[in-house]
A and B are shown apart, each in its own frame.
Chain A
Amino acid sequence: MTPPHAKRRRRQLLSGVIVLALVAALPLGITDVYIQNILVLTVMYAALSQAWNILGGYCGQISLGHALYFGIGAYTSTLLFSKYGISPWVGMGAGGIIGAALALVIGWPCFRLKGHYFTIATIVLAEIGLLLFLNWDYAGAASGIQLMAVRDSWADFSFLRSKLPYFYFALGLAAVTWLVTFLIEESKWGYWWRAVRENPLAAESLGVRVFRSKMAAAALSAFFTAIGGSFYAQFVSYIDPESVMVFQFSLLMALPAVLGGIGTLWGPAVGAAILIPVSELTRSYIGGGGRGIDLILYGSLIMLISLARPEGLVGLASLFTRKSSPA
């Protein structure tokens, strides 16, 4: 690594730590339960979108079926906990591994598909997952599974009223996915993925194992997404197929990354920080009328950002940094 490059990397790492510290300190000033809930959701989506970004942004394989892994994670830990009393922490890990394994199984035939064919295949596979769980009585089918906690417990990762443990876990997950992204950006894999994204044929001819790259990206992405799903199940204490495996969820995992800056380090976090509070606040304070105004606002915002700033919002920040630092 050449010195200016190393300096940039150190600066990125430093900024990551600073942002983490600032966000971690937020609950000190914000005690309103509802706002804390928004914070939890925001960092959760930042983590999920960061995980999605590994496959979609860096590797260029646009999946709109990530809700499948989210749901698998949620159901794995919840079934293990509710039926066998296995700790959700263990269940989370199990969910992550199953998610990753599933991604590999799916990737095997799917990665020969290109562009929109691949994307539609991911959508369709997630829908199949949804339908299977909707009709699987052991997993509760449409009624879902409810986890009734009676006391706060770290061992069971369930808390009756406090949002803070959930917030810090989700923040931790977001930090881990951010760090993973940071590390792979400069790794051999990172270079391979960029090559695959830009020009798969050329990459292949240069010795990049295209297929293996995609599989690795998919497994990593699915692993973290599934952990996010387990987290969500513990957070809400109730899951049913329609709330964890629907297409809308897949879109919500991709949207922050796309609007924030697909394939960038900070894109998903920036995108989540804007989209989630906006959608929550418009629903809560404007949605109560039943007239659809919150939808109009939310949709317009998405359109505005994608049209005005196609490279994502992160690009805006670089306008300032470019001026202040030497080339």
Chain B
Amino acid sequence: MMSAETIVQILVSGLLMGLLYALIAAGLSLIFGLMDIVNFAHGEFMMMAMYATFGLVVLFSLDPLLVSPLVVALMFGVGAFCYRFIISHAMRAKTNAGMVQVFATFGLAIVIRGLAQFIFTPDYRSIPKSWLAGKTFDIGGIFMPAPQLAGALVSILAFVGLWLLMKKTDFGKALEATREDAGAVGLVGIDRNRIFALGWGLGAALVGLAGSVLAIFYYIHPDVGGTFALIAYVTVALGGFGSVFGALAAGVLVGLVEAVSATALPPSMKAVGIYAVYLLVVFLRPRGLFGHLS
């Protein structure tokens, strides 16, 4: 049977990974909460951020951590751009607006993947050397790899920052107001379009942050977004669409469940554990753990 040490190791690894899942899901949840759109290109945004990190690291011989803020800013721009030139058009649909957005972003995802293959070739890339890569902390027999630890830390900081942004700043309040009633905010002088664009920018920036951290220890490839995308969507739904805190809780839960399922079930079926938890939760709470009443 499994030793206590093994169990603790599995849970710790699951927690660290879960915090990263939470960060990936945060942007998706934010965008949805703001305007009821599920961004099917979310995984591809993350892939873009990973390539951007790789490219900047190789070009300027800098550590990924240093390059990360630039990548985040870049992704903010990408998100805002996508809203302005693509999503805003999708939202003008009078009928089936929900479906149109799904497929417009789905088409966008395919295009981004094709572009990545065209520009970078389908070969697998890795960031060769970085300050964090390869280091791992051994605390009492429990191993915590430095990149994942950093990722978890970044994730927590990002969520704290997000909370402060939403509650304490004008922008955050405008975001919240637009989420509550997008139609009415025009009356109080809030430019709805501008808020949406900034919201998309923020959502993309968050997943971009996750991507640049992931690039430190994960391989980079045009299809890498797909590997994380489904987990991201399940995480957001589990936490409750629109609830950023829900994304955090759900991400951690998914990370832990994945880790435990890989030992309790045959590892090739570990995802069933995650899916079962999702179904169980939504059957009992149809809006996820912390979903907003719309």
Residues in A lying within 8 Å of B, measured CB to CB: 62, 109, 112-117, 120-121, 123-125, 127-128, 131-132, 134-135, 247, 251, 255, 258-259, 262-263, 290-304, 306-307, 310-312
What 0/1 readout, one digit per residue, does chain B (223-243) give for beta carbons within 8 Å of chain A?
Answer: 000000010011001000100
B97 within 8 A of partner (CB) = yes
**B118, A293: Cβ atoms closer than 8 Å:** yes
What is the chain A residue whose CB lies nearest that of B97? A310
**A295, B96: Cβ atoms closer than 8 Å:** no
**B286, A112: Cβ atoms closer than 8 Å:** yes
Residue numbers in B under 8 Å from A113 (CB-CB): 282-283, 286
25 interchain pairs, CB-CB under 8 A: A109-B279, A113-B282, A113-B283, A113-B286, A117-B241, A117-B282, A117-B291, A124-B278, A127-B275, A128-B272, A128-B275, A131-B268, A132-B269, A132-B272, A258-B100, A292-B117, A293-B118, A295-B114, A296-B118, A299-B111, A302-B104, A306-B103, A310-B90, A310-B94, A310-B100
A208 to chain B, nearest CB (A): 20
Asked whether A296 and B114 contact (CB < 8 A) given A123-B233, A124-B275, the answer is: yes
- The listed residue with most B CB atoms (<10 A of its CB), out of A113, A115, A116, A291, is A116
B292 within 8 A of partner (CB) = no
Asked whether A131 and B118 contact (CB < 8 A) given A62-B99, A298-B110, the answer is: no
Q: Complex: how many Å from CA A312 to CA B95?
A: 10
**A258, B241: Cβ atoms closer than 8 Å:** no
**A120, B233: Cβ atoms closer than 8 Å:** yes
B113 within 8 A of partner (CB) = yes
**A127, B113: Cβ atoms closer than 8 Å:** no
**A310, B114: Cβ atoms closer than 8 Å:** no
Residue numbers in A under 8 Å from B241 (CB-CB): 116-117
B38 within 8 A of partner (CB) = yes
**A258, B118: Cβ atoms closer than 8 Å:** no
- Contact partner of A117 (CB less than 8 A), chosen from B86, B97, B99, B287, is B287
**A292, B108: Cβ atoms closer than 8 Å:** no
Q: Which of B222-280 contact A (CB under 8 A)?
A: 222, 230, 233-234, 237, 241, 266, 268-269, 271-272, 275-276, 278-279
Q: Complex: how many Å from CA A296 to CA B115?
A: 7
B168 within 8 A of partner (CB) = no
A-B interface, 9 closest residue pairs, ranked by CB to CB distance from nearest? A299-B110, A295-B114, A310-B93, A292-B117, A302-B107, A303-B107, A299-B111, A296-B114, A292-B114
B43 within 8 A of partner (CB) = no
Asked whether A295 and B266 contact (CB < 8 A) given A112-B286, A123-B230, the answer is: no
**A295, B111: Cβ atoms closer than 8 Å:** yes
Residue numbers in A under 8 Å from B282 (CB-CB): 113, 117, 121
- The listed residue with most A CB atoms (<10 A of its CB), out of B38, B92, B279, is B279
Q: Complex: how many Å from CA A313 to CA B204?
A: 31
A23 to chain B, nearest CB (A): 25
What is the chain A residue whose CB lies nearest that of B283? A109
Q: Complex: how many Å from CA A5 to CA B268?
A: 56
Q: Which of B64-92 contact A (CB under 8 A)?
A: 86, 89-90, 92
- The listed residue with most A CB atoms (<10 A of its CB), out of B108, B230, B266, B286, is B286
B267 to chain A, nearest CB (A): 10
Residues in B lying within 8 Å of A, measured CB to CB: 32, 38, 86, 89-90, 92-100, 102-104, 106-118, 122, 222, 230, 233-234, 237, 241, 266, 268-269, 271-272, 275-276, 278-279, 282-283, 286-288, 291
**B234, A124: Cβ atoms closer than 8 Å:** yes
**A299, B107: Cβ atoms closer than 8 Å:** yes
What is the chain A residue whose CB lies nearest that of B93? A310
Residue numbers in A under 8 Å from B100 (CB-CB): 258, 306-307, 310
B30 to chain A, nearest CB (A): 15
Q: Complex: how many Å from CA A116 to CA B32?
A: 10
What is the chain A residue whose CB lies nearest that of B37? A116
What is the chain A residue whose CB lies nearest that of B122? A290
Residue numbers in B under 8 Å from A116 (CB-CB): 32, 38, 98, 237, 241
Q: Complex: how many Å from CA A112 to CA B285?
A: 10
Residue numbers in B under 8 Å from A304 (CB-CB): 107
Residue numbers in B under 8 Å from A120 (CB-CB): 233-234, 237, 278
**A303, B104: Cβ atoms closer than 8 Å:** yes
Q: Complex: how many Å from CA A218 to CA B31?
A: 30
A27 to chain B, nearest CB (A): 31
B121 to chain A, nearest CB (A): 8
What is the chain A residue whose CB lies nearest that of B114? A295
Asked whether A307 and B89 contact (CB < 8 A) given A62-B98, A117-B286, A135-B268, the answer is: yes
**B116, A306: Cβ atoms closer than 8 Å:** no
A283 to chain B, nearest CB (A): 12
